[in-house]
Amino acid sequence: MEIIFYHPTFDTPYWIAQLSKQLPGANVREWKKGDNQHADYALVWHPPVEMLQGRDLKAVFALGAGVDSILSKLKANPEMLPESIPLFRLEDTGMGLQMQEYAVSQVLHWFRRFDDYQAQQQKSEWQPLADYHREDFTIGIMGAGVLGGKVAESLLAWGFPVRCWSRSRKTLPGVQSFAGTEELGDFLRETRVLINLLPNTAETVGIINLNLLNQLQDNSYLLNLARGVHVVEEELLQALNNNKLKGAMLDVFSREPLPQESPLWQHPRVVMTPHIAAVTRPQEAIAYIARTITGLERGDHVSGQVDRQRGY
Ligand SMILES: NC(=O)C1=CN([C@@H]2O[C@H](COP(=O)(O)OP(=O)(O)OC[C@H]3O[C@@H](n4cnc5c(N)ncnc54)[C@H](OP(=O)(O)O)[C@@H]3O)[C@@H](O)[C@H]2O)C=CC1
Ligand SMILES: O=C(O)C(=O)CO
């Protein structure tokens, strides 16, 4: 079995060594420009079109959870990957725990009013504030898939009321499920902390706009862990400045790195990280890919295949 690997920043020799170990009999090689030799599987992140185009592959694996970048490249170059070749993505592989850490730490930060105490400290002000109550701190998670489900579980464990919104109805124990555009308004109405874990698709671009933010509870918070294009950044600033939103924590931006001139950098109630909410953990990802390839070779049903029509 021949496997080609391409990632612009990963430690390629490590990946090749580990994949070879877990898939004995496979010949794993780094794809380099000009390599047109046969391959059965391709493991990729931001692949050059020529890496995939015209190949008789059994499957392609995206080396991350989101497949928006590869799908948008495919839109411009449909011949890069015919529909008959399945595209897989990473399901959790250690990202769920990272998302849980991120979400729990920030929700607790807001819930215990550490943002207010930080602002007071700037003014050398010693002033205990009234407690917030969990019943006024409903967490609403947009996107109840692999990562949204994990985040829901972790916040439930801290006693917060948790609800989720997705295309299809969910049955996550203890989580109130809302489904489809017709239930979005009801989902938002009680939400105090909105956490975004949607995929980037034609339907979700720009979904977090002023109209949506205005439907949240007053003094709400936004945690964007998914993609920058979900948020209309000027409208987010409006919602912060008119105090509909009390704070926002953003891991992702419509342009990355965030341009120096963006007002988000300096906003006193915005905190940010540089797209690190959950990164691909090589050990878990390699084990997952090896397991999936072994399953495919045996003809088993395996999970993780992207529905290209849905866009995730
Ligand atoms: N910041 C970071 O570091 C990282 C960000 N991400 C982002 O997180 C995203 C989510 O990952 P993951 O949980 O694995 O993805 P999944 O595909 O498992 O989950 C996606 C969820 O979104 C829901 N959804 C999709 N479209 C709509 C829509 N139009 N309306 C309502 N709900 C919708 C799906 O609904 P249904 O279940 O009904 O299909 C599903 O519940 C990734 O696409 C990626 O962009 C991922 C990793 C790291
Ligand atoms: O896996 C993804 O989709 C990511 O955004 C990794 O940071």
pTM of the model: 0.98
In whole angstroms, how large is the CA radius of gyration of the chain?
Answer: 21
The Å distance, Cα 277 to ligand 2 centre, comes to: 8
The residue whose CA has the least distance to atom 3 of ligand 2 is 66
User: With b meaning 16 or more CB within 10 Å and e meaning fewer, what string describes 251-274?
Assistant: bbbbeeebeeebebeebeebbbee
249 lines ligand 1 (CB under 6 A): no
Regions of the chain with pLDDT less than 70: none
Active-site option among 29, 275, 281, 308: 275
198 lines ligand 1 (CB under 6 A): yes
The residue whose CA has the least distance to atom 1 of ligand 2 is 64
pLDDT at 311: 97
103 lines ligand 1 (CB under 6 A): no
pLDDT in tens, 17-60: 999 999 999 999 999 999 999 999 999 999 999 999 999 999 99
pLDDT at 3: 98
pLDDT in tens, 219-260: 999 999 999 999 999 999 999 999 999 999 999 999 999 999
Catalytic residue at 7? no
275 lines ligand 2 (CB under 6 A): yes
Instruction: Give the pair of three-digit tokens for residue 54.
Output: 């015209």
Instruction: Give the pair of three-digit tokens for residue 189.
Output: 């109405």
Angle between helices 282-298 and 12-22 (to 10 degrees): 40
279 lines ligand 2 (CB under 6 A): yes
Catalytic residue at 109? no
pLDDT at 278: 98
Nearest ligand 2 atom to alpha carbon 252: 5
